[in-house]
């Protein structure tokens, strides 16, 4: 829905043609339609809460480079005196746009500010009504259960991501990107990691990498960003989170140029409630120092009008190289930790050292490195997300050792992700199989349907449909008294999820009480009720075979 500052005028002499009553009614209808779609200054538009709306303005001056030379912002005041400063963005020729999303019902009033007379001192109001069914607001960290997420309306969000680095390039090339998004949702994944500008430099090819900015950082590719508007808007309508990787590895000019670029991205996309921010993918390899990312993190939080709502914060983080320890803990701009810990994990000599290429692989079993990637980073009251734990169809699973590497198996992939979620963490997958008709989907953005997606669907359904209060559970591997590669997620004395990566027999310490029990097959989704279990002792469980299994317990009282 768009608010356009223009007035519809009809010359006085033209009214002599409106003598016929039918023509008068027709003219009145046209006026109502015109003002409804292009309201003039001072008119009020009624919009639902958490819906993206636009104030469209026309610059009066002409600019050789409007991206660098012109700016506009709006002061927007809402119910209870809430106030937001919202920057606009240039969208070609003399068109400027201010995107705004109301977060409270009631009246919001705005006034624009600019050195350009055509953009300055434009005012109006928005009446915010109840949100549309199925919309939940912005995604934020849960301030009560700090290792988890929820929306503005309190709806819980169980994160499982998909990786489509080149989704925008695929969309621009005419690819069926809607199928990529819709099919991803069907399989239980509710977040897409995607580059908003370009792609990974080490895997970029001209066929599918579309950039939104010139290498110099001075020229915008508006066609790229308009396609991004379409894709992100489509995802928003379907409840899919767009995890935007903001910066490419290439440096976009001076630091001032890069800050200008960041402000542009925030102005253009912050109003979408489904957008969350990742400053860059693998910051360590971008040739920018660590402090640069702290500067960009602080700037993002400052410039994003929806960064903080009450005591809750929008999701903002940075992705790093393969290592187990997250490198930005303690930064006030940070909302959650992003880990890359997968098939290339190595030993470290100490916490400050680079992961050496010739180092010994620390974990060969995926469930071990999946679980460790989360457990190691607990204790900071921040959610931990392993966004690169080892892709589906990973063709170089170096963790197996030796010179000849093999592709990751479906079983190993399943073990990794269950290891992560059995520690209370979250993850993102990605399909790295090489398909003859479309390359590797994690890069191209093209949908394929490997069998591993069934395992993801089973995991998501297990946590979200079996009435576990998973946000109240934490890693308690010390409860395990015997068993091979067995992990415990628990709210002690109330609910337990035990993942046995190799089946067999295991035992755990179980407090007094009576627990209803069940056994879940993560490969098939089959759920088998077990006899109630009496606690107050070390309790043993025997599983049918050596495949991976889940045992769950809940108090009956």
* CB-side neighbour CA atoms (13 Å) of 86: 31
Task: Supply 105's token pair.
Answer: 């019902």
DSSP codes, 13-60: GGGGG--SHHHHHHHHHHHHHHHHHSPPTT-EEEEETT--EEEEEE-S
Strands 73-77 and 83-87: antiparallel
Q: Is 246 helix (H, G, I), strand (E, B) or coil?
A: strand
Q: Is residue 379 very low, low, confident or very high in pLDDT (cuts 50, 70, 90)?
A: very high
Instruction: Specify burial of residue 20 (Cβ count, 10 A radius: 0-12, 13-18, 19+).
Output: exposed
Distance CA 382, CA 310 (A): 18
pLDDT value of position 38: 38
CA-based nearest residue to 463, from 472, 450, 451: 472
Query: What b/e string do you get for 99-119 counting C-beta neighbours within 10 Å, with b at 16 or more?
Result: bbbbbeeeebebebebebebb
Contact 172, 224 (CB under 8 A): yes
- Numbered ranges of CATH 2.60.40.10 in the chain: 2-129
User: Which CATH number applies to 149-278+341-464?
Assistant: 3.20.20.80
Tokens of 468: 């576990």
The packing angle between helices 222-237 and 177-186, to 10°, is 30
Question: Domain 476-555 - what CATH class?
Answer: mainly beta
Residues of the chain with CATH 3.20.20.80: 149-278+341-464
Question: pLDDT-based confidence at 250, cuts 50/70/90?
Answer: confident
Residue span(s) of the chain under CATH 2.60.40.1180 come to 476-555
In tens, the pLDDT along 5-28 reads: 432 222 333 333 333 444 434 443
User: In angstroms, rounded to a whole number, what is the distance separating the alpha carbons of residues 74 and 96?
Assistant: 12
The CA distance from 138 to 150, in Å, is: 9
The answer to whether the CB of 510 falls within 8 A of the CB of 553 is: yes
pLDDT at 403: 59
Instruction: Check if the beta carbon of residue 513 is closer than 8 Å to that of residue 535.
Output: yes
SS (H, E, C) 318-350: CCCCECCCCCCCCCCCCCCEEEECCCCCCCCCC
CA-CA distance, 339 to 2, in Å (whole number)? 39
Whole-angstrom Cα distance, residue 182 to residue 238?
8
**264: confidence class by pLDDT, cuts 50, 70, 90:** very high
Quote the CA–CA distance of 268 and 89 in Å, as a whole number. Answer: 6
Q: What is the pLDDT of residues 338-366, one digit of tens each?
A: 999 998 888 765 554 445 555 678 899 99
Domain 2-129 sits in which CATH superfamily? Immunoglobulins (2.60.40.10)
In degrees, to the nearest 5, what angle opens at C-alpha 261 toward C-alphas 441 and 251? 70
Contact partners, residue 392, CB within 8 Å, separation at least 6: 408, 413, 429, 430, 431, 432, 433, 450, 452, 453
pLDDT for position 219: 82
Note the pLDDT tens digit of each residue in 148-193.
999 999 999 999 999 999 999 999 999 999 999 999 999 999 999 9
Predicted structure pTM score: 0.90
């Amino acid at each position: 829905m768009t608010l356009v500052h223009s007035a519809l005028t009809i010359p006085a002499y033209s009214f002599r043609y409106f003598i016929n009553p039918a023509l008068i009614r027709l003219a009145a209808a046209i006026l109502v339609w015109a003002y409804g779609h292009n309201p003039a200054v001072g008119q009020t538009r009624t919009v639902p809460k958490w819906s993206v709306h636009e104030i469209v303005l026309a610059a009066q001056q002409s600019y050789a480079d409007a991206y660098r030379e012109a700016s506009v912002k709006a002061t927007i005041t809402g119910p209870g005196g809430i106030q937001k400063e919202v920057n606009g963005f240039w969208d070609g020729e003399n068109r400027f746009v201010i995107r705004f999303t109301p977060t409270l019902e009631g009246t919001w009033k705005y006034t624009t500010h600019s050195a350009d007379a055509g953009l300055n001192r434009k005012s109006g109001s928005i009446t915010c009504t109840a949100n549309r069914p199925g919309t939940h607001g912005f995604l934020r960290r849960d301030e009560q259960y700090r290792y988890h997420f929820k929306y503005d309306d309190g709806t819980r969000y169980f994160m499982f991501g998909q990786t489509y680095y080149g989704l925008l390039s695929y969309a621009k090339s005419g690819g069926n990107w809607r199928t990529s998004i819709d099919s991803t949702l069907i399989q239980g994944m509710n977040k897409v990691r995607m580059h908003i500008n370009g792609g990974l430099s080490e895997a970029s090819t001209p066929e599918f990498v579309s950039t939104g900015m010139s290498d110099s950082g001075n020229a915008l590719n508006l066609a790229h960003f308009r396609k991004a508007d379409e894709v992100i808007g489509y995802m928003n309508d379907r409840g899919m989170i767009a995890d935007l990787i903001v910066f490419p590895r290439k440096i976009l000019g001076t630091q001032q140029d890069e800050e200008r670029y960041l402000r542009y991205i925030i102005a253009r996309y912050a109003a979408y409630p489904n957008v969350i921010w990742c400053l860059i993918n693998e910051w360590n390899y971008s040739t920018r120092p660590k402090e640069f990312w702290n500067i960009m993190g602080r700037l993002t939080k400052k410039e994003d009008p929806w960064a903080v709502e009450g005591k809750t914060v929008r999701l903002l983080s940075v992705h790093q190289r393969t290592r187990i320890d997250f490198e930005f803990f303690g930064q006030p701009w940070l909302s959650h930790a992003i880990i890359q810990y997968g098939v290339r994990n190595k030993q470290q000599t100490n916490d400050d050292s680079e992961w050496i290429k010739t180092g010994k692989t620390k974990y060969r079993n995926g469930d071990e490195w999946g679980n460790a990637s989360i457990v190691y980073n607990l204790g900071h009251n921040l959610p931990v997300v392993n966004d690169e734990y080892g892709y589906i169809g990973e063709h170089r699973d170096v963790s197996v050792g030796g010179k000849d590497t093999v592709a990751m198996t479906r079983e190993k992939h399943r073990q990794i992700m269950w290891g992560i979620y059995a520690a209370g963490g979250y993850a993102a997958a990605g399909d790295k199989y090489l398909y003859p008709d479309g390359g590797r989907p994690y890069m191209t953005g093209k949908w394929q349907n490997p069998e591993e997606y069934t395992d993801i669907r089973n995991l998501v359904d297990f946590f979200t449909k079996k009435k576990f209060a998973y946000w109240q559970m934490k890693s308690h591997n010390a409860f395990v008294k015997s068993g091979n590669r067995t992990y415990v997620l628990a709210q002690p004395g109330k609910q337990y999820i035990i993942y046995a990566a190799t089946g067999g027999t295991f035992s755990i310490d179980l407090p007094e009480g009576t627990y209803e029990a069940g056994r879940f097959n993560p490969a098939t989704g089959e759920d088998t009720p077990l006899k109630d279990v009496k606690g107050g002792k070390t309790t043993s469980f025997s599983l049918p075979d050596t495949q991976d299994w889940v045992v769950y317990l809940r108090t009956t009282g």
